[in-house]
Every structure is written in structure tokens, then in C-alpha cells.
Structure 1
């Protein structure tokens, strides 16, 4: 399966992808004429990190022992990695973690505590979701149903934001900034794959998206990673039009891979007015 082989790509693929994005000028190296490949050469990365070229080549080929934290820190600096990229690099250098499964289903448990679901459902006006790092939507409130998708009417496997962004026919209508939504969604899945490359549900999801979307395949091959924390987000609704919101994420205690995502609007803004209009319509499901 395409998803299985892709998720199994580990440290070497990531190092190659990242050094291709860094030019000699980015790290203070003098230009050396034409290059056969973009970015830094292996020997240049080795010199920046303080390694022998042979050892760095073995890292990219997957033939070296697990690199030390000091080496990984130096690689992060040399390849100009941000915090999410550094965390992903650390994950790739470690042995894959076992996936915690339920004995009956053989898959990772996604059962929410009833109190967590109640918290989400009682958030007023602002759309709120609980998601895992596979982008499965595990809980939602009425505003989220009105603005984002009619989650109660969807089959459980369809309550997945990656599937909706890449495979739903109306995805570009719901997400006016679709290119950015697609890129960040792939980045979140890449982070999850770094932590759990053998998660069977994640393997199946990546395989399905790879077969169903050429854009997904291209973005996945770029090894971009993204940690969902906070930022702007626009939705488009057939009744209220474009709604420009800001989201914040909150870790759910006791569930390391679950986050609460709350979308809010600035006071007095058109977006706030739009949310109140949707609220006054009793949360009528979005026409999706």
C-alpha cells in the first residue's frame, strides 16, 4: 500500500528533504557554482554539524546507530528547523512507539470521557471540536455542526478533517483558503506518522488519501510538518458567507493525542455577527 511504504520512510528521507530546502547562502557558505541538486550537499551538512561525511551519509542511508541528542540539535540548527520540525526529527530518530490498542477492536482507543464531550457541547456560539492527531473529529458542538460540517449525519470514518479536505466534493467551498488548509493538514499527519509510523489507522488513512488526491501525494512527499496550536481560519457558509475566525487548541488531560479546538471571532466583527446568526437559526446544519 502506498500509505504503508510512505509512513515507513524515516530519518534519511527527512534529512534529504530538509537539506534540499537550505541554500549555502542561508547558512553562510560561499557559492560554489552550478549544483546538480538543490540545497546543501551532504558534505556541507556534515561540516556544519561537525560530523564526518561518512557518518552523515550513513544517517541518510539508515545505516547509522541512533544519533545523540547533541547531533540532532546540531542537525536542527544546520537545517534551520523550527520547533515542530525539531520535534519531528527527534521522533524519527527514536524507535517507533507501540500503538496502544483495545483488545476487542485491535485499534487505538478513541473513547472520550463523558465530561469532555459535555464541555465541548456546552461551548456557546463559538464552534468547538475535539480532534486526534489523525484529524478524526471525536466531539463537536452545535455551532461547529452549523458552520463546518453536519457531523451527526456523517458515518464515523467520514468525521475526519483530512478526508473532508482532500476527498469531499465541496471542500474548496467550505475552506476558501484551501491550499493552506491542505498543507497544514498534511503537516499534522506527518507529525503523527513520526510518532507512530506503525499506527494501522494512520497507515490506512495516508494510503486512502494518496490514492484519492494527487495534491495530497505531492504535499506528503515534501515532508512538511505542522503542529496545530493557534492561528487564523476562514470558513465559507452558504447563508452567512465567509467567516474569518481565530482558533486556539488545548490539550485534553489524560489523552496526549487529543486536542480541543475552539474557533472565536473578534468582538463586534462581521464574523461574530455571522456566528450569532447561525446560533439564532438553532444551529441548522451547514449545507454540505
Structure 2
């Protein structure tokens, strides 16, 4: 994850992420690097705080992290689309070392990614439904809304809006659980 991009996020963006809770939300760049996220997103697919900052990339995690993968019931279609969108976006960034480095890393570490990359599919980003299996609250269904914060730099706010009442109840419960866990952890270390 590019630390310079994280450092340049306005504090208002971080505050907005907190205010969007209990809806899971993140800021990512066009390369799928996770630049910031709220508490609920941090616990939606895995414990994102336990993932090394250099590995906080949605595409990397979707291909290499067992916990992240287990939370994706539609994983095969998701990674196919993700690879196609990455290919389409990369056309504008061919000379950028960070893009080349991620592509090389993905090809080196994931045979599945290599196979999908060799299909030469391209796709554009669209808002769509996503489902996740969370170990604490079960299956959750969302409509993903992506809002470009700075199109020139590729920073995008992604918000997972509950698609049904059960999901809304589930993310509210997950938010409570994660907030209580954070509070308890702070109390024992403070």
C-alpha cells in the first residue's frame, strides 16, 4: 500500500468513514490498494488490522488470503471481474512502477491470477451487489456504491449499503461486536 497516498487523505475522509458506520466503507485506489477503512469494513471479510499494510490490497487478498477468500461466496466470478477491471485500468498506468510491481507480484504468487490475466478480458467498474460470509453474523448482501474522491489520482470511496433488513441487522450487530472488542482491547492495554 502506498504510504504517501494514505498520508495525503484529508482527515475529513477518515471522519466520513467513521460516520458511515454501521455501513462498511473503505477508500481504495484504482490498483485496489486499501488506503483507509472503517471499523465494520475492517472486520467484514477478515481482521484487516492483522494484515500487513503492504498486503492490504483487495485483489491480493482475494487471490492469496484464505480468510478473505472464505468470506466470498461468489469468489470465482468476483476475481474474474476484478482481474478484468485491473487490466482495463492498467492501460492508463503502464509506465508506473507500482502497477508493474503489483502485476509481477500477482503473477508470481497466484497461478489462478496468471490464468485469468492470460484471458485478456477487460471490464469497467460498476456498482453491483456483493455478498460476504462473516463468521460472526453470517451471510450479508450489499449494494456496492463507488464514489470517486479524486479521479485524477484514482481514490475512490466504496460503501457497502445493506441490500435487505437482515443484512442491516447483521452489520449493526457486527459494528457493536467490533466496537466492544476495540473498547475492551484499549482498556486492557491502556
Which structure has more RCO (C-alpha within 8 Å, separation ≥ 6)?
2
Aligned residues: 178
Deviation of 1:255 (Å): 4.6
Partner of residue 190, structure 1: 87
The Cα offsets for residues 168-211 of structure 1, whole Å up to 9 and x where unpaired, read as 12233111111111112212211221001121111111111111
Q: Which of the numbers 166, 180, 185 marks the counterpart of 1:270?
A: 166
Range moving further from structure 2, 205-214 or 142-151: 142-151
Residue 177 of structure 2 corresponds to 281
TM-score norm. by structure 1 comes to: 0.58
CA distance in 2, matches of 1:171, 1:152: 13
8 Å Cα contact 2:45-2:68 kept in structure 1: no
Give yes or no for the alignment of 1:118 onto 2:15: yes
Note the residue ranges of structure 2 that are not aligned, 5 or more in a row.
Answer: 183-190
Query: Post-superposition shift, 1:228?
Result: 2.3
Unaligned runs of 5+ in 1: 1-106
Deviations 1:198-235 (A, max 9, x none): 21111111111111112111111112222223000011
Whether contact under 8 Å (1:130, 1:139) holds in the other structure is yes
Kindly indicate which of the two structures has a greater share of residues assigned to strand.
2
Aligned-residue offset at 1:244:
1.1
Counterpart CA distance in 1 for 2:60 and 2:34 is 11
- Please say which structure displays the higher CA radius of gyration: 1
Pair 1:154 & 2:51 matched? yes
CA-atom RMSD in angstroms:
2.0
In structure 2, what is the Cα distance between the partners aligned to 1:253 and 1:207? 26
CA distance in 2, matches of 1:274, 1:255: 35
- Distance in 1 separating the partners of 2:30 and 2:3: 12
Q: Residue by residue, what CA displacement relative to the aligned partner does 1:80-114 show, whole Å, maximum 9, x if unpaired?
A: xxxxxxxxxxxxxxxxxxxxxxxxxxx79413122
Number of the residue aligned with 1:163: 60
